[in-house]
Amino acid sequence: MAESLAQKVCTPCRGGISPLTQKEAAVYLSQTPGWGLENEGRWLRRKFKFADFRESQSFIDKVGRLAEEQGHHPDICFGWGYATVSLQTHKIKGLHENDFIMASKISELAGP
């Protein structure tokens, strides 16, 4: 059985590689329900909804801890009842497998 993205660990990206093409990113996207490609496939983004500000903040706190553990940091915007998480590997100005690993792990934090 193939290892799921959520079971993988982000590996440091030192740059010097090409970002995923839109076609390559689409393969990973099929494994990360709820996420979408934006800006010509250079960003991965999802908006999460919550009951109130406290739930949004609690979620973002969990995402922050995960980001530190994985060494891969998303851009986050949140407020009352929502959080938008955007992922990109900044060193390559596009997407890498790490972005999809993080997306999968972040989705697990949000629950069903």
- 8 A C-beta contact, residue 51 and residue 36: no
Read off the pLDDT of residues 13-48 as tens digits, 9 standing for 90 and up.
777 889 999 999 999 999 999 999 999 889 999 999
Report residue 83 as tokens.
Answer: 């959080």
Q: Which domains does the chain have, with CATH numbers?
A: 20-110 (3.30.1360.20)
DSSP symbols for 79-96? ETTEEEEEE-BGGGTB--
Residues 6 or more apart whose CB falls under 8 angstroms from that of 72 comprise: 10, 87, 89, 98, 99, 101, 102
Q: Look up the pTM and report it.
A: 0.91
- 8 A C-beta contact, residue 44 and residue 100: yes
Read off the pLDDT of residues 49-60 as tens digits, 9 standing for 90 and up.
999 999 999 999
